Amino acid sequence: MIANHSISDSRVSLPSLEQIVQVLTLEEYNTRVVVLGVMALGTAAGLVGTFLILRRRALTADALSHATLPGIAIAFMVMVALGGEGKNLLGLLIGAFVFGCIGVLAILGIRHTTRLKDDAAIGIVLSVLFGLGLCLLRIATELPNGNTAGLNGFIFGKAASMVANDALTMGVVALGVAIVIGILRKEWTLLCFDEKFGAVQGWPMLWLDVLLMAMVAIVTVIALQSVGLVLAVAMLIIPATSARYWTTKISSMLIAAAIIGCLSGWLGGITSALIPRMPTGPIIVLICGFWFIFSFIVGPVDGLIIRQITRLRLNRRISMQHILRAMWEVSEDTETSQFSIEEIVYVRSWSKRTVSKLLRRCEKLHFATRVSAKNWRLTQKGSAEASRVVRNHRLWEVYLITHADIAPTHVDRDADMIEHVLGRDLVAKLELLLETPALPKSPHPVGEQQ
Amino acid sequence: MSWSIIDTWIIIIGALCAAGCAIPGTILVLRRMSMMGDAISHTVLPGIAIAFLVTGSRDPTAMLIGSVAVGLLTAFLIQGIQSLGKVEAGASMGIVFTVLFAFGLVLMRQAVDHVDIDPDCVLYGSIELAWFDQEPDGLGIPRGAIVNSVMLLANLFVVLLFYKEFKITSFDPALAKSQGIQPSFMHYLLMTMTATTAVAAFETVGSILVVAMFIVPPATAYLLTNRFGMMFVFSIALSIVAAALGHLSAITIPTWFGFSGTSTAGAMAVATGVLFIVVLLVSPNQGMISRLWRRLSVRILVIREDILGLLWRLEERGQGKMLPIQLSEAIGTTELSVRMALLSLKKRGSVSKTASSWSLTERGRTNATKLVRSHRLWEVYLDKHFPQDTHQLHHAASRLEHVTTDAMESNLGHAEVDPHGSPVPDEE
């Protein structure tokens, strides 16, 4: 019977224009609370997450968020036992915070007292404390005065249950985080990049670390209500990791991460308000994921596209220098200024097609011109560039022969790779060291490498 | 506590499931990839959701295929982002599994009207209800037991088949490559095993508690043994004990406080943690107690030898008796540790007590002579080869005398007097 009304039910119905305007202007109270709250959360998480990522603690934060569950259950039980209602948000969050910190301490403890590594320590703390949390939650449902409905909301997040006060708390926390980072930016940067240097300089590195993890715990705890403890870590690590593809400077990375976090919160908030049956937390995480993929591909620092372009450019420059040298050496060998494609093919192990393609590029750059149907010759500009490359190549060959005791027949290939990266300073040093003429002769026959 | 056949089967299913998880878990822990188990077990959820949306049914085979495919995709993406995007392994895992898990949650929510598997069930599993799911009928064996035994046997088979390969790739990937074993093939084989196991086990204990089964028993076993094969044996044994202990405490401990019981799957995870803590304390090699004991016994050994040396030097000056408090002041340690050292010396017959003062016996004198001899020879040696302040000579020699073997001493040479002018005693 399940199969009868299958996938067609789950089709997403698109909202009307009126609805869109209503949501975008945050007219409705509930939408306003949720959207503003998650935007504040995204900002705070992006800021703290930047340092978390730089400190390579991504999964520690995951364990921290899972470890909050027993804290929530215990806080609930304690509040019920004291005669309270049990679902005081502040009380629950304090419990969560305390257990989050216990979780981090337990990880450090396991790492220091056993030979187990970080990964196992994190896994142990995460799963055992989460299991404890589940046990305690089950017990809490049996408390006589306790109404545990809604406690489960902390696991997957339940943004709909947010009220104005909660959004305000998130805003205050975001502001607080921003202020603390404003004060401690330099110190935390030092902590992430050169902890030992910081310690030598007399900074209290341990306390800076503790404070950073406390910030992570606070942000995780305020994320519980909207995003849930399973996914809270995503808010911390995804915006920050995405930001890294846009800049290498800490201050701009902080800003980028905050913007990505805030935008993800906003987009997630309005998406879940517009489209029915879209849980807010997972949608925000998915949007963070899209940001990551986008940054991963088009980001100007280490992005896929930029890296591909850089590589292609480098390859092109190398083959250009190779063909210039080939042309020069062929002309030198035959003692005429003209050469044919076949002669180039003979010198380098390239196909005829590659050679003619490269020659056409040389023509475009005015390095070479065609003199007849078969023959080419270097222009003055090409000749100058080619002799420079040849010179670098031969200087290195001579250096290898005289200073590294390598046989003349073996130096060509090494020099072939190094000629492209010899800088002006290095060439000057080689000239001084080798006392060579303006252009040494090739120590080995040209074109015998095949 | 009332026991029924249901409880027996819960323990059997839990033990089968935990033992099955412990096998890939052992390799994961050894390769420092424990959190891959966490990441992959989270992605069971989107796998199931996709399989459901595609086939429109709860066909177990489709779900298995869907989840294993998504699990492998997870492993692949983590690797790809890590190497292509220059992202740290942990962050790469965190990104991939949270995004996929969120995707799974959204899909489930979209299909909420006609799915009777909800996220809660994926989290907690349903081991308590496993007995009632008897398919195929008539065997009297719940389906969970069959699924988990098949999984356990399959894992055992794979590990035994590739035992050597797993061992080499786990400890020395470079050697493995030179032996013609493809590390990447072994990696993805392990990932397939992990994903299959996570799918088979999630119905029993839920997707997050699978992580406890994967990581905690093998990590505990790692504190007990240094041998690859024994790690599997210990992991499986520990996980079976944890399963039984978990269910027993789930139905007993809460009753002491007036509650009816608690989540068995959660309690099994806690039980693995309890076993970990116990082993962490008492393990013979890696345990905290034994390590503390070893440190303490070295300290007592040093104090014992210091007492012998001190009493010998007193005899040299014509005295020869001292109260424990005086000894502790002279050596510079607490009176308690001096008393402990004295008791241990007395047991060895090296010192004797007269009217609360302690003095050397004949046997103690022999040992003490040896110590003082090596101390003074060291001073001579150090003075000759590393000339320094005579005060520092004494400190250096006081450290070295405790670790000097006979062979070392015979190489120190001969001398009549040390740099302070005290005679070097002859060997007796």
Residue B230 Cα, gap to closest chain A Cα (Å): 17
pLDDT at B138: 67
Please tell me which of the candidates B32, B109, B212 has its beta carbon nearest to residue A128: B212
Share of chain B above pLDDT 70, in %: 96
Residue A135 Cα, gap to closest chain B Cα (Å): 5
The tally of CA atoms less than 13 A away on the side-chain side of residue B42 is 23
Q: Which residues of A touch B94 (CB under 8 A)?
A: 58-59, 61-62, 233-234, 237-238
My answer on whether B131 and B200 are in the same domain is: yes
B48, B105, B282, best to mutate vs chain A, most A CBs in 10 Å: B105
My answer on whether B159 and B40 are in the same domain is: yes
pLDDT at B166: 93
**What total number of domains does chain B contain?**
3
**8 A C-beta contact, residue B68 and residue A248:** no
- Determine whether the interchain pair B110/A277 forms a contact, defined as Cβ–Cβ distance below 8 Å: yes
Pairing state of beta strands A375-378 and A338-340?
antiparallel
My answer on whether B342 and B417 are in the same domain is: no
Please tell me which of the candidates B94, B106, B266 has its beta carbon nearest to residue A131: B266
| CATH number for the domain harbouring residue B412 | 1.10.60.10
- Determine whether the interchain pair B87/A123 forms a contact, defined as Cβ–Cβ distance below 8 Å: no
Q: Which residues of A touch B252 (CB under 8 A)?
A: none
Please tell me which of the candidates B112, B219, B266 has its beta carbon nearest to residue A134: B266
Task: Name the average pLDDT for chain A.
Answer: 86
Q: Which residues of A touch B111 (CB under 8 A)?
A: 7, 9-10
Calculate mean pLDDT across residues B209-233.
93
Please tell me which of the candidates A59, A129, A137 has its beta carbon nearest to residue B94: A59
Per residue in B89-101, pLDDT tens? 999 999 999 999 9
ipTM of the complex in this document: 0.85
Tell me the residue range of the domain where B310 lies: 287-360
Q: Among all residues of chain B, which has the CA nearest to that of A237?
A: B91
Inter-helix orientation angle B183-205/B34-42, to 10°: 60
Task: Name the average pLDDT for chain B.
Answer: 87
| Terminal C-alpha separation, chain A | 72
Q: Among all residues of chain A, which has the CA nearest to that of B29?
A: A120
Q: Does residue B72 have a pLDDT over 80?
A: yes
CA–CA separation, A427 vs A420, rounded Å?
A: 12
Q: Which residues of A touch B114 (CB under 8 A)?
A: 2, 5-6, 9
B223 occurs within a structural domain: no
| Terminal C-alpha separation, chain B | 71
pLDDT at B281: 93
pLDDT at B113: 56
Please tell me which of the candidates A128, A245, A296 has its beta carbon nearest to residue B269: A128
Nearest of A195, A218, A179 to residue A41 by alpha carbon: A218
CA–CA separation, A152 vs A80, rounded Å?
A: 17
Calculate mean pLDDT across residues A79-105.
88
Nearest of B367, B386, B387, B374 to residue B413 by alpha carbon: B374
B345 occurs within a structural domain: yes
Kind and range of the H or E element at A375?
A: strand A375-378
Residue of A449 and B375 predicted with greater confidence: B375
pLDDT at A7: 43
**Any idea what DSSP says for residue B360?**
E
Nearest of B242, B182, B239 to residue B24 by alpha carbon: B239
Q: Which of B166, B194, B216 is the last residue of a domain?
A: B216
Calculate mean pLDDT across residues A103-130.
93
B160 occurs within a structural domain: yes
| CATH number for the domain harbouring residue B77 | 1.10.3470.10
| CATH number for the domain harbouring residue B328 | 1.10.10.10
My answer on whether B23 and B133 are in the same domain is: yes
pLDDT at B272: 96
Q: Does residue A268 have a pLDDT over 50?
A: yes
Per residue in A330-389, pLDDT tens? 888 777 778 888 888 888 878 888 888 888 898 898 888 888 888 888 888 888 888 888
pLDDT at B428: 61
Please tell me which of the candidates A6, A127, A285 has its beta carbon nearest to residue B208: A127
Please tell me which of the candidates B81, B106, B123 has its beta carbon nearest to residue A155: B123
Per residue in B99-139, pLDDT tens? 999 998 888 887 755 555 566 677 777 787 777 777 666 67
Q: Among all residues of chain A, which has the CA nearest to that of B220?
A: A116
Kind and range of the H or E element at B354?
A: strand B351-354
Q: Which of B335, B360, B385 is the last residue of a domain?
A: B360
Q: Which residues of B touch A146 (CB under 8 A)?
A: none
Quickly tell me which residue has 């696991």 as its tokens: A155
Judge whether B117 is closer than 8 Å to chain A, CB to CB.
no
B256 occurs within a structural domain: no
Q: Which residues of A touch B81 (CB under 8 A)?
A: 296
Residue B103 Cα, gap to closest chain A Cα (Å): 7
B317 occurs within a structural domain: yes
Per residue in B327-385, pLDDT tens? 888 888 888 888 889 989 999 888 888 878 888 888 998 889 989 988 988 888 888 88
Judge whether B129 is closer than 8 Å to chain A, CB to CB.
no
Judge whether B139 is closer than 8 Å to chain A, CB to CB.
no
- Determine whether the interchain pair A130/B208 forms a contact, defined as Cβ–Cβ distance below 8 Å: yes
My answer on whether B198 and B292 are in the same domain is: no
Q: Does residue A5 have a pLDDT over 70?
A: no
B398 occurs within a structural domain: yes
Please tell me which of the candidates B88, B95, B216 has its beta carbon nearest to residue A56: B88
pLDDT at A4: 39
Per residue in A7-53, pLDDT tens? 444 455 677 777 777 777 777 888 888 999 999 999 999 999 999 99
Q: Residue B82 corresponds to which amino acid? A: Q
CA distances to A209, A220, A264, B151 from A46, in Å: 18, 12, 10, 41
pLDDT at A159: 81
Residue A338 Cα, gap to closest chain B Cα (Å): 45
Burial pattern B400-409, b for ≥16 Cβ within 10 A else e, equals: bbbebeeeeb
pTM: 0.84
Nearest of A141, A122, A124 to residue A59 by alpha carbon: A122
Q: Which residues are paired to B373 by β-bridges?
A: none
Contacting residues for A388 by C-beta, under 8 A, at least 6 apart: none
Residues of chain A with CATH 1.10.3470.10: 15-300
Calculate mean pLDDT across residues B181-186.
88
pLDDT at B118: 64
Q: Among all residues of chain A, which has the CA nearest to that of B118?
A: A156
Q: Judge residue A182's burial from the number of C-beta atoms within 10 Å of its C-beta, 0-12 exposed, 13-18 middle, 19 or more buried.
A: exposed
Please tell me which of the candidates A10, A126, A277 has its beta carbon nearest to residue B211: A126
Q: Which residues of A touch B115 (CB under 8 A)?
A: 2
Judge whether A253 is closer than 8 Å to chain B, CB to CB.
no
Confidence of residue A446 (pLDDT cuts 50, 70, 90): low
My answer on whether B43 and B157 are in the same domain is: yes
CA–CA separation, B381 vs B372, rounded Å?
A: 14
Q: Which of residues 211-270 of B touch A (CB under 8 A)?
A: 211-212, 214-216, 219, 222-223, 250, 254, 259-263, 265-270
My answer on whether B202 and B314 are in the same domain is: no
**8 A C-beta contact, residue A122 and residue B94:** no
Q: Does residue A85 have a pLDDT over 90?
A: no
pLDDT at A345: 84
In CATH, which of 1.10.340.30, 3.40.50.2000, 1.10.3470.10, 3.30.420.10 is domain A15-300?
1.10.3470.10
Q: Among all residues of chain A, which has the CA nearest to that of B86?
A: A302
Q: Among all residues of chain B, which has the CA nearest to that of A124?
A: B216
Nearest of A358, A398, A352 to residue A382 by alpha carbon: A358
Phi, psi of A162, rounded to the nearest 5 degrees: -75, 140
My answer on whether B73 and B152 are in the same domain is: yes
Residue B199 Cα, gap to closest chain A Cα (Å): 17
CATH topology of domain A308-434: Arc Repressor Mutant, subunit A (1.10.10)
Please tell me which of the candidates B34, B268, B286 has its beta carbon nearest to residue A123: B34
Judge whether B86 is closer than 8 Å to chain A, CB to CB.
yes
- Determine whether the interchain pair B262/A58 forms a contact, defined as Cβ–Cβ distance below 8 Å: no
Q: Which of residues 76-95 of A touch B (CB under 8 A)?
A: none
Residues of chain A with CATH 1.10.10.10: 308-434
The tally of CA atoms less than 13 A away on the side-chain side of residue B96 is 30
Judge whether A421 is closer than 8 Å to chain B, CB to CB.
no
My answer on whether B351 and B399 are in the same domain is: no
B209 occurs within a structural domain: yes
My answer on whether B64 and B180 are in the same domain is: yes
Nearest of B121, B135, B154, B140 to residue B16 by alpha carbon: B154
Q: Which of residues 46-75 of A touch B (CB under 8 A)?
A: 53, 56-59, 61-62, 66
My answer on whether B334 and B384 are in the same domain is: no
Kind and range of the H or E element at A446?
A: none
Q: Which of residues 141-160 of A touch B (CB under 8 A)?
A: 142, 152, 155-156
Calculate mean pLDDT across residues A321-328.
88
CA–CA separation, B223 vs A122, rounded Å?
A: 16
Taking CB atoms within 8 Å and a gap of at least 24, the contacts of A22-26 are A23/A270, A23/A273, A23/A274, A24/A270
B228 occurs within a structural domain: no
Residue B7 Cα, gap to closest chain A Cα (Å): 17
Q: Which of B191, B216, B241 is the last residue of a domain?
A: B216
Q: Which residues of A touch B121 (CB under 8 A)?
A: none
Q: Does residue B22 have a pLDDT over 80?
A: yes
At B351, is the secondary structure helix, strand, or coil? Answer: strand
Contacting residues for A337 by C-beta, under 8 A, at least 6 apart: A331, A377, A378
Token code pair at residue A226: 């909207």
Inter-helix orientation angle B183-205/B264-282, to 10°: 120
